[in-house]
Structure formats: C-alpha cells, structure tokens
C-alpha cells in the first residue's frame, strides 16, 4: 500500500514575522518545524504500513531549507521524501497550496490514501485537506481518529460535535487526522543515520505541470488587505500598590458593581 | 442571482445554533450589502416545517434542496449539491459555521469552484466598494487581518459562539423555496454506525464568572488555586493555550480562537498577556479584570480593572479575602 502524508513546514511558535508590504508571513526569517498536528497523520500512516505493508511518502510544499524537515519525517518512519519548491509557489493561500499538492499527488500515483494533519498551527484553517480532495475529485474525511482496511474497503471513525461516525469507503481518498489520537514515535537513530546519505526529491512548478495562474499570489483568491491591532478606548481603573492593598481595592470595586 | 447565503447546518433534527448566529450577522450587514438573506438547507422533505422556521429569524428565503438521500451529511454528496447550486445561482456571499461539518464542507465547495475561503472569522465589515471584509486573528502575534476575496461568492467560515443569535422578527416576510432534486450524485461514503458522545458542553460557555490563568501563574500549583476561586464565585476555570499545552489543565478549558468563547458578567485573567487569539474568546465579557505584573500587557489595556502586581501573590490573597467576606 502507498500512503502519502502531507507535512507543512511552520515557523517555530514565537518566531513569526509579518512582511509589512505583502502582509504575508516571512517564512525565511523564522526557524521552521514540522507542523505538530501532522505528526499524528504521519504516525497513523507509518503504523498502517507496518501492519499491512507498503510505503509512506512524505510530501511537503516549502522553501528549499525545509528539506531537513523531510529528513526528520524519514527518521519518524517515512520512506520517500518529496519537496515541492518553487518561487512560483510563494504567497499561496489554501486554494493555491492545495492545487500544488494535488498536482504532486497525481504524479505520485498509484496511492491508496493521502493523510494530512487537522490544521496547521500558523494558518489554522483546516482547509487544505478537503480542498486537495476537491481538486483530485476524491472523497475526503476530516477529523479521523481511527482507520483500518476491511474487505478491500477502508473504515474510518471520525468526530463531529456530539457524535462520532464509522464510515466505509473505497480509496483513494484524502483523510485529515485528529490530533492526539495516537502517540507519535520518537525518531529512530538508525533512520537518522541512513537519511544522511539521502536527498529529498525536489519538484518545481514545471515538473508538476502547474498552471502558473493557479499558484502563488496569482492563484490565491484571498488577499490580505491589511492588519491592525484593535484598540480599546475605554475607561479603566488601574490598581497599584502592595498586594494586600490592591486585593482590598479590587474586592471593594467588585462588590460595588455587584459582581461578588 | 446574488444573495447572502448561509449554510443551514442540521443538528439532531433542528438547526445548529451557529445558523441563528449567521442570521444575525447577515441582518446586521444587510443595510450595507443589500443582499437577500438566504439560508440553504439540504434534506429529505419531511424536514420542511423545521426549515420554514428559519423565516421567523429573518431569513428572506429558505432555499431547501430536497432528496431522500440527503438525510445525513456526506462530504462529497453535500458539496456537489452546493457547488452546483452556487454555480447556477451565483450568490454574492456564502457563510458557514466553523463546526466540524462546516469545516469539512466549505473547503470542498471552495476547492471544487476555485473560490477563496477565509477561516474562522470573528468580525465583518463592508467597504465602499461593497466588498465583504473578512476579519480574523492572524499569524501568532497580536494582529487582526482584514481579508477580501477576489472570487464570488465571498466565502468564509465563522466561529460558533462569537456572534449573538438572531432574534425572531415580528412579521416574517420570507419564502420557502423548495427544490426537488430528481437525482443526486452518488457518495463514496457509507455510514455504518453513529455513536453519540457524552456531551462535552463546556461549563465555560455559560458561566457567569470565568477565572482564567496564563503562563504568568508560573507553576501548576498556582494555577490549581483557580479552582478554589471559581468555586467561591460560582464560576468556571479558563486557560490560555500555552498552559493547556504545558498540561496544567485539559484543552476543553482553553479560551480563544482554538478554544471556547465565553460571555460572563465577570472575567478575571491572572498572568495572561492578552494575545488576540485569547481575547477574541472574551469579547462578550461584561467586566474584564486583568492581573499582571506588566502594566503594558495587552490584556491590561483592554481591561476594565487592571491590577498591577504578582498574580501568584494576589490570587491566594483574593481567595482568602472573599472567603472571609462569605463567612
Ligand atoms: C494559530 C494560533 C492559535 C492560537 N489559539 C489560542 C487560543 O485559542 N487561546 C489562547 O489563549 N492562545 C492561543 N494562541 C496563543 C496566543 O497567541 C498566545 O501565545 C497565548 O494566549 C499567550 O498565553 P499566556 O498569556 O498564558 O502567556 P504569555 O504570553 O507568556 O503571557 C504571560 C503573561 O504573564 C505576565 N506575568 C509573568 N509573570 C507574572 C506574575 N508573576 N504575575 C502576574 N503576571 C505575570 C507577563 O507579563 C505576561 O503578560 C494561539 C496562537 C496561534 C498561533
Ligand atoms: N505547504 C504544505 N505542504 C504540505 N502539507 C500542507 C501544506 N500546507 C498545509 N498542508 C497540510 O494541510 C493540513 C491543514 O493545513 P491548514 O489548512 O493550513 O490548516 C496540514 O496539517 C498539512 O497536513
């Protein structure tokens, strides 16, 4: 079986810079890590491979320096590493990102399932999974907590608010995996050594036969007009002094307002 | 043609609360956008009367697509029916609740039609050109982003609980338009079992008092004292994302974009900086108290009462003082 896992390079929390001109993230300025929720998708795929045979391809759209993150994915159990890197991809919103991923996924045929994280910690849109499925004209299932093959079909358990459902479907399909449904393994030392001699396959827009009107800023229908910090011009009380003193003031203020 | 569309998500035979919240958004934007407010509902015909109910909450049209196979949500089937409806009727706006179902469905429709989609909006404005400005907290730091779509309909998902629900209207004027579908596309998904999960209805969303803690409480033992204070005040305990990740408390206590939205009479935040990702969750609080050693922290600026000091000292003193008062 062939599982493709999409892993996003994200800026390490706390290290984000926004470009004042384009209002997009300046990814080159921050240290990158594997999007933590994607590790559950990777673990699910690696566990399925170990049980049923096959291989796992780690797929990432990102800058050239994200290659090391793919090596990390290899140490966590992936077998192939594919990096989609091209200036033409810069500034992609979720629609353009999912278009590029879908073009790559087509090149990686045949495959059984595409697995993704639930959401990225920087964008946190949870959109790329179902959008990729739409480009591929395949079924998608979100918030999956368990997945197994049964009589030539797949069975998934997925969460909704207040209930979960067990669904069966025929692959290929795109799955987004709920965080914390498994325990991602630590990296294997043997694999860490082996991957030193390996290079991820790097594919460009041309390699993927991308229509350049659908990638990058040109292919992104959402546009950030600007960013702002909301200001709160309101009357406020500022309490300062010794701890005992401010507690006394606070309690009396809350009492006069009938709040305690 | 045109219209302000809202996805009419079902929940156990009724509509999900977020549908009423989206109706209040639509009604508020109506004077500026002047688009007809349409709730789009999919289902078998025996749900007609429930669907009609939405007219009482200000829907000017309920567009009801009827087919026996639309009895429960299936991503591929529902998105195909909606995509076709959008392509044919060309609404100006299409909003979905950012629920599990809405987040599975909206991006499939966007992907199928090549449309822009903004996730988890917490506010909307309309500019001079009549474009919908979609506002969401953005990029980790304390900023909100205003986003526009170059494509039509302008699509967005909206976080449940952020907007108040629409009130009933005196004289409903809308109509139910029933579209009987002769056939619907097949679905690749077949439901085998549904299991109801114990309702994780967070006590936070209804609490009259919320006492919340952040990284400034420094240690878990300090954070744990919030439970004592919450009990004394008859309230619930909330938290910022980092402290949930530190394991001080489970994630269902998280307040903010990734967590709960609260609207208590009193919110007290101890050692919380007040990042927008957190404060969008307390927009509905009547009185905000912040306790922080840094008078310049954003939550201190936003607070009605800003207490400058060491939260690890103030919290136990406050508990003691209130206990004394309550005798
Ligand atoms: C996509 C995304 C989604 C997010 N979603 C959420 C969300 O839903 N909810 C959420 O809360 N966060 C969320 N965050 C994180 C958010 O951006 C902030 O990082 C977080 O809210 C900060 O938490 P904090 O206030 O506990 O910690 P900090 O920002 O570290 O603030 C600690 C505060 O404590 C004060 N302090 C320190 N010591 C003391 C003391 N002894 N006494 C009093 N004050 C003290 C400091 O002055 C500081 O203001 C999200 C981030 C991203 C990128
Ligand atoms: N640049 C990318 N490369 C690979 N996978 C991605 C990329 N962006 C998003 N994804 C996948 O899509 C999921 C959802 O991302 P998002 O829609 O940004 O919340 C992530 O968890 C990843 O699995």
Q: What is the CATH number of the domain that holds A204?
A: 3.40.50.620
Query: Which range has the worst mean pLDDT, A74-83, A86-95, B2-11, B198-207?
Result: B198-207
Quick one: pLDDT band at residue A15, thresholds 50, 70, 90? low
Which of B158, B189, B220 is at the close of a domain?
A: B189
Pocket test for ligand 1, best of B272, B276, B290, B309 (most atoms within 8 A of CB): B272
Quick one: pLDDT band at residue A17, thresholds 50, 70, 90? low
Report the C-alpha gap between B139 and B182 in whole angstroms: 46
Instruction: Judge: A224–B145 Cβ closer than 8 Å, yes or no.
Output: yes
Assigned domain for A250 exists: no
The residue whose C-alpha atom lies closest to atom 6 belonging to ligand 1 is B277
Report the C-alpha gap between A259 and B31 in whole angstroms: 37
3-state secondary structure chain A: CEEEEECCEEECCCCCCECCCCCCECHHHCCEEECCCHHHHHHHHHHHHHHHCCEEEEEEECCHHHHHHHHHHHHCCCCEEEEECCHHHCCCCHHHHHHHHHHHHHHCCCCCEEEEECCCCCCCCCCHHHHHHHHHCCCEEEEEEEEEEECCEEEEEEEECCEEEEEEECCCEEEEECCCCCCCCCCCHHHHHHHCCCCCEEECCCCCCCCHHHCCCCCCCEEEEEEECCCCCCCCEEECCCHHHHHHHHHHHHHHCCCC
Report the C-alpha gap between B251 and B150 in whole angstroms: 36
Q: Which domain holds residue A49?
A: 2-219
The confidence score (pLDDT) of residue A12 equals 84
β-pairing, A2-6 vs A55-61, is parallel
Report the C-alpha gap between B75 and B84 in whole angstroms: 14
- pLDDT tens-digit readout, A56-68: 999 999 999 999 9
The segments of chain B whose pLDDT lies below 50 read: none
- Which chain B residue has its CA at the smallest distance from A224's CA? B147
Q: Which residues of B touch A25 (CB under 8 A)?
A: 139
Instruction: Judge: A139–B194 Cβ closer than 8 Å, yes or no.
Output: no
Q: E strand or H helix at B89, and its extent? A: helix B75-89
Which of B161, B189, B217 is at the close of a domain?
A: B189
CA of B146 to the centre of ligand 1 (A): 23
Which of A128, A164, A246 has its CB closest to that of B195? A164
- In chain A, the percentage of residues whose pLDDT exceeds 70 is 93
Same-domain pairing of B166 and B217: no
The residue whose C-alpha atom lies closest to atom 1 belonging to ligand 2 is A61
Assigned domain for A152 exists: yes
Tokens at A151, concatenated? 């009589």
Q: Nearest Cα to A100, choosing from A71, A61, A50, A43? A: A61
Same-domain pairing of B161 and B242: no
Which residues, in sequence order, are bridge partners of residue B264? none
Which of B116, B196, B308 has its CB closest to that of A240? B308
Pocket test for ligand 1, best of B211, B221, B256, B279 (most atoms within 8 A of CB): B256
Q: Which residues of B touch A155 (CB under 8 A)?
A: 192
The confidence score (pLDDT) of residue A23 equals 64
3-state secondary structure of B312: helix
CB A89 within 8 A of CB A61: yes
Q: Is the pLDDT of residue A27 over 60?
A: no
Residue that wins the pLDDT comparison between B75 and A15: B75
β-pairing, B305-308 vs A237-239, is parallel
Same-domain pairing of B160 and B259: no
Tokens 């919030």: give the residue. B226
Same-domain pairing of B214 and B181: no
Residues sharing a CB contact under 8 Å with residue B95, sequence separation 6 or more, in sequence order: B4, B5, B6, B7, B22, B25, B26, B155, B156, B157, B158
Assigned domain for B55 exists: yes
Tell me, yes or no, if B289 comes closer than 8 A to chain A by beta carbon: yes
Domain with residue B18: its CATH number is: 3.40.50.620
The atom of ligand 2 lying closest to the CA of A84 is 3
Report the C-alpha gap between A209 and B38 in whole angstroms: 40
Assigned domain for A39 exists: yes
Assigned domain for A228 exists: no
User: Please, what is the Cα angle at B147 between B145 and B150, to 5 degrees?
Assistant: 165
The confidence score (pLDDT) of residue A123 equals 82
Cα–chain center distance at A209: 24
Same-domain pairing of B118 and B242: no
Assigned domain for B119 exists: yes
Tokens 């009933």: give the residue. B168
Tokens at A145, concatenated? 């907590």
Same-domain pairing of B230 and B160: no
The confidence score (pLDDT) of residue B322 equals 95
- Best of B107, B118, B299 to mutate (most A CBs within 10 Å, chain A): B107
Same-domain pairing of B273 and B145: no
Assigned domain for A30 exists: yes
Same-domain pairing of B218 and B286: yes
Domain with residue B291: its CATH number is: 3.40.50.1220
Tokens at A206, concatenated? 């041309």
DSSP, res B282: G
- Ligand 1 neighbours (beta carbon < 6 A): A 121, 124; B 140, 214-216, 218, 240-243, 254-259, 271-273, 275, 277-278, 291-294, 297, 310-312
Assigned domain for B196 exists: no
Assigned domain for A171 exists: yes
Residues sharing a CB contact under 8 Å with residue B285, sequence separation 6 or more, in sequence order: B210, B262, B263, B264, B265, B266, B267
Which of A169, A224, A244 has its CB closest to that of B317? A244
Same-domain pairing of B268 and B172: no
Same-domain pairing of B154 and B45: yes
- Which chain A residue has its CA at the smallest distance from B302's CA? A232
Assigned domain for A32 exists: yes
Quick one: pLDDT band at residue A170, thresholds 50, 70, 90? very high
The confidence score (pLDDT) of residue B3 equals 97
The confidence score (pLDDT) of residue A24 equals 64
CA of A84 to the centre of ligand 2 (A): 13
Sign of CA dihedral A51, A54, A60, A66: positive
Relative orientation angle of helices A94-107 and B100-113, to the nearest 10 degrees: 70
- Which chain B residue has its CA at the smallest distance from A24's CA? B139
| Phi, psi dihedral angles at A233 (to 5 degrees) | -90, 90
- Which chain A residue has its CA at the smallest distance from B294's CA? A240
Which of B189, B217, B240 is at the close of a domain?
A: B189
Tokens at A105, concatenated? 């996924």
How many domains in chain B?
2
The confidence score (pLDDT) of residue A228 equals 86
Instruction: Judge: A223–B309 Cβ closer than 8 Å, yes or no.
Output: no
Q: Which domain holds residue B33?
A: 4-189
Decide: A121 in ligand 2 pocket, CB within 6 A: no
Characterize A197-216 residue by residue with b for buried, 16 or more Cβ atoms within 10 angstroms of its Cβ, and e for exposed.
eeebeebebeebebeeebbb
- pLDDT tens-digit readout, B17-69: 999 999 999 999 999 999 999 999 999 999 999 999 999 999 999 999 999 99
Q: Which residues of A touch B199 (CB under 8 A)?
A: 162
Which of A23, A95, A163 has its CB closest to that of B145? A23
| Phi, psi dihedral angles at B26 (to 5 degrees) | -60, -40
Residues sharing a CB contact under 8 Å with residue B77, sequence separation 6 or more, in sequence order: B69, B70, B184, B185, B186, B187, B189
Other beta carbons less than 10 A from residue B248's beta carbon: 22
| Phi, psi dihedral angles at B231 (to 5 degrees) | -65, -45
Same-domain pairing of B30 and B166: yes
Q: Which residues of B touch A250 (CB under 8 A)?
A: 289, 305, 307, 318
Which spans in B158-259 are helix H?
220-233, 241-245
The confidence score (pLDDT) of residue A75 equals 98
| Phi, psi dihedral angles at A32 (to 5 degrees) | -100, 145
The ipTM assigned to this model is 0.87
Tell me, yes or no, if B87 comes closer than 8 A to chain A by beta carbon: no
The shortest C-alpha distance from B205 to chain A (Å) reads: 15
How many domains in chain A?
1
Q: Is the pLDDT of residue A21 over 70?
A: no
Same-domain pairing of B224 and B287: yes
Tokens 């935040």: give the residue. B269
């Amino acid at each position: 079986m062939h599982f493709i896992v999409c892993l996003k390079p994200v800026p390490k929390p706390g290290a984000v810079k926004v470009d004042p001109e384009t209002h997009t993230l300046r990814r080159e300025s921050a240290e990158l890590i594997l999007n933590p929720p994607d590790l559950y998708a990777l673990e699910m795929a690696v566990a399925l491979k170990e049980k049923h045979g096959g291989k796992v391809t780690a797929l990432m759209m990102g800058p050239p320096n994200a290659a090391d993150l793919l090596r990390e994915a290899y140490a966590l159990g992936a077998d192939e590493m594919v990096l989609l890197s091209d200036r033409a991809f810069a500034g992609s919103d979720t629609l353009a990102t999912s278009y590029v991923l879908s073009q790559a996924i087509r090149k990686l045929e045949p495959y059984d399932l595409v697995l993704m994280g639930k959401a990225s910690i920087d964008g946190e849109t949870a959109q790329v999974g179902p959008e990729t499925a739409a480009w591929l004209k395949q079924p998608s299932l979100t918030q999956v907590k368990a997945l197994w093959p049964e009589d030539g079909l797949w069975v998934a358990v997925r969460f909704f608010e207040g209930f979960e459902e067990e669904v069966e479907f025929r692959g290929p399909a795109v799955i987004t995996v709920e965080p914390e449904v498994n325990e991602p393994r630590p990296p294997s030392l043997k694999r860490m050594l082996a991957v030193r001699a390996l290079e991820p396959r790097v594919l460009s827009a041309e390699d993927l036969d991308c229509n350049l009107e659908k990638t990058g800023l040109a292919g992104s229908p959402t546009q950030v007009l600007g960013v702002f910090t909301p200001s709160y011009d309101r009357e406020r009380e500022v309490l300062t002094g010794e701890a005992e003193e401010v507690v006394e003031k606070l309690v009396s203020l809350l009492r006069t307002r009938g709040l305690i | 043609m045109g219209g302000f569309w809202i996805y009419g998500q079902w929940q156990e035979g009724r509509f999900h609360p977020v549908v009423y919240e989206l109706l209040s958004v639509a009604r508020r934007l109506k004077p500026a956008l002047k688009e007809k407010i349409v709730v789009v509902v999919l289902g078998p015909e025996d749900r007609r009367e429930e669907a009609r109910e939405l007219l009482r909450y200000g829907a000017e049209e309920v567009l009801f697509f009827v087919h026996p196979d639309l009895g429960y949500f299936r991503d591929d089937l529902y998105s195909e029916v909606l995509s076709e409806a959008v392509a044919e009727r060309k609404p100006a706006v299409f909003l979905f609740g950012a629920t599990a179902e809405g987040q599975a469905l909206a991006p499939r429709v966007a992907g199928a039609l090549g449309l822009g989609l903004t996730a988890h909006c917490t506010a909307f404005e309309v500019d001079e050109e009549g474009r919908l400005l979609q506002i969401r907290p953005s990029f980790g730091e304390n900023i909100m982003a205003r986003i526009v779509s170059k494509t039509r309909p302008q699509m967005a998902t909206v976080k449940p609980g952020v907007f108040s629900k629409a009130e009933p209207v005196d004289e409903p004027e809308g109509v139910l338009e029933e579209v009987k579908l002769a056939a619907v596309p097949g679905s690749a998904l077949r439901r085998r079992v549904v299991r109801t999960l114990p309702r994780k209805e967070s006590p936070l969303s209804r609490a009259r008092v919320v006492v919340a803690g952040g990284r400034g409480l420094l240690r878990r033992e300090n954070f744990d004292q919030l439970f004592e204070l919450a009990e004394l005040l008859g309230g619930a305990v909330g938290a910022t994302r980092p402290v949930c990740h530190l394991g001080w408390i489970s994630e269902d206590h998280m307040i903010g974009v990734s967590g709960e939205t609260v609207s208590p009479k009193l919110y007290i935040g101890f050692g919380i900086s007040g990042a927008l990702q957190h404060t969008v969750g307390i927009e509905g609080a009547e009185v905000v108290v912040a306790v922080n050693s840094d008078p310049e922290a954003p939550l201190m600026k936003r607070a009605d009462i800003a207490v400058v000091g060491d939260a690890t000292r103030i919290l136990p003193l406050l508990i003691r003082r209130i206990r004394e008062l309550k005798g």
